[in-house]
Chains A and B, each alone.
Chain A
Amino acid sequence: MRRALTVAVLLALLGRPAAAWSEDAGDWEPEPPEIEVPVREVEVFAREVEAPVREIEVQEPPEVEVPVREIEVPAREVEVLVREVEVLVREERLAEREIPEGVYLVTETYVRDVVTIEGPLTTYETETVAWSPGSYARELETVGTGTASELDGAAFNGRLALSDGRPVAGTFYENFVWTSDGLVPVSVVFFQDDAELRRVASLPAAPEPAAAPAEPAPPSTLAAVPAPAPASTEAGGDGSVPASEGPLLDERDAPEPAAAAAPSAPAATGAPPGAVAPSPPFGPFVPVAPSAPIAPRPVGGSVATRQGGAPAQRVEVLRGRRVALWPRASSDGSSATVLAWRLVSGEASAATAAGSGADPFVARWDRLAPPGSSYVLRFALQVAVPGEVPPPEVEASIEVAVLSPALDR
């Protein structure tokens, strides 16, 4: 078959010029031969050429045994990496989405309203946490002290009022979540940023907060309960000072807190702070009822005499005896994980200065404390609190009484 085809091709090549010759033609110049190769032959030839190529491609590389080494990665680092990956994934998704102008990915999440009273100065601020829940936000309106807004009452955290009844200054933000239909608005949050100054002449001898928070808080800091409506002028749960205590000055009259009185600049981090209740990224949004106060998350530290044991305020150890103490932490009234601890102050003859949450503080005392006194150890604990990055640091202390045998006469 191949031979016959070859003969046919040769005849075609040699016979074509002769067939094309004409007597009328002057100078005979043969035209370039046109080779007609049957398509079938070309396909067969191509397959023969490709066959070895495929064989080469399908060769599997030799199996090489790579020594596997188990690496213990701290859970904390894993969490950080997972969050970074989530952020990257969100940014990638964000790049694929068409986000309207003025809408940003939330990078600072609302935690609670904070009212701080320092002497005559009362500061209204908003506590945030550097965390991106995957939602979006846009700035709606920045309002000044006493300026009414159509958005009053729309924010789930309300808008507090100064002690004279005027609503505090701040900025309204609208929160969005991304759905298959695009961005869907879910809530409005108010970031308060204001301050007021009481007249010193009208100050009582010992100023006290007008209302104690329901949750434990630093002495001068009140966790504000959102006012359901901005028109509320009652001084009470919002932690503001009663108007009856005297004339008031707003932030424009305050000499020092000018920076604090100015509305926050969301652009400082490249994106405005937004706020939604902590929820899984791109997960179902759980709206926060406007009347529901945002509970603070008090984090405390303590020291126990055994792992998982009850906190101890004071321990008694014999001189020269090696003992182990366990820094502990609690959040929201329940036990929390101590990521790391370090000894801030305290005297011991031999002690570990720092450790992870799984490591105890091991020490011994070779010297007695001065008569009538004890050693006091202070630790700084890094506590894992969900949603708080970086993890908060709290202090824990314990009193150590070093004993020595003595005759009892």
Chain B
Amino acid sequence: MLAGSLELGSLRLVAAKARAAADLATIVAIGDQDDAAFAATGAYRPSPDAEAVARVYFARNLDAIAGSLDRSPDEIAAAADVAVFREAGALDQRSGRRYDRPAVRVAAVVPVRTPAFAAFLLPRVTSVEVLAASVAR
């Protein structure tokens, strides 16, 4: 029972860190500006490589909890659903949200090892879903 409680607490901590990793990845990705779009219109648009930047920083941020993950951070980031909404007012089909400004969104499933749950006939790996989106305002 104690082991199960500790495992549950650890799972919640790792899940929070995974969400923070996704949040920070979207902030980094939205924090770069498309120079060509600025020159053409003067308006802010995410950088063309915003999606790649989001994946890279998501993986880097997951490194801190890599020991608790069932897959490598790079594999998790590569499998993540990263979307860049370059125009304001875009609708996110996955979350149903509408962004009033250009946005970068990361949706991923982070597999966290939970060996203590096996004693209770629960899965040894628990999937944590994270969803993060950032805009420049």
| Residue positions of A touching B, CB distance < 8 A | 305-306, 309, 312, 314-318, 321, 323, 403-408
Contacts and interface: CB of A to CB of B under 8 A. Distances in A.
Contacts of B28: 405
A318 B136 contact: yes
Contacts of B41: 305, 312
B31 interface: yes
Contact of A405 (B40, B42, B134): B134
Contacts of A406: 27, 134-137
A359 B35 CA distance: 18
21 contacts: A305-B38, A305-B39, A305-B42, A306-B40, A309-B40, A312-B42, A314-B42, A316-B42, A316-B136, A317-B33, A317-B38, A403-B44, A404-B137, A405-B30, A406-B27, A406-B136, A406-B137, A407-B23, A407-B132, A408-B97, A408-B103
Contacts of A321: 33
Contact of B27 (A305, A315, A405): A405
B117 to A, nearest CB: 30
A407 B44 CA distance: 16
A305 B28 CA distance: 24
A316 B43 contact: yes
A377 to B, nearest CB: 13
Residue from A312, A315, A323, A405 with most neighbouring chain B CB atoms (10 Å) = A405
B26 interface: yes
A406 B134 CA distance: 5
Contact of A318 (B23, B40, B44, B99): B44
B42 to A, nearest CB: 4
Nearest to A320: B31
A408 B99 contact: yes
Interface in B1-47: 23, 26-28, 30-33, 38-44
Contacts of A314: 42
Contacts of B62: none
Contacts of A309: 39-40
B68 to A, nearest CB: 24
Contacts of B44: 316-318, 403
A14 B30 CA distance: 123
Given A315-B42, A318-B136, A404-B31, 19 more contacts: A306-B40, A309-B40, A312-B41, A315-B38, A316-B42, A317-B44, A318-B32, A318-B33, A403-B44, A405-B27, A405-B136, A406-B134, A407-B27, A407-B134, A408-B97, A408-B103, A408-B133, A408-B134, A408-B135
A320 to B, nearest CB: 9
B131 to A, nearest CB: 10
A31 B72 CA distance: 138
Nearest first, the 6 A-B pairs at minimum CB distance are: A315-B42, A316-B44, A312-B42, A306-B39, A403-B136, A405-B31
Given A305-B40, A321-B33, A403 B23 contact: no
B91 to A, nearest CB: 13
Contacts of A306: 39-40
Contacts of A312: 41-42
A312 B32 CA distance: 21
Contacts of B42: 305, 312, 314-316
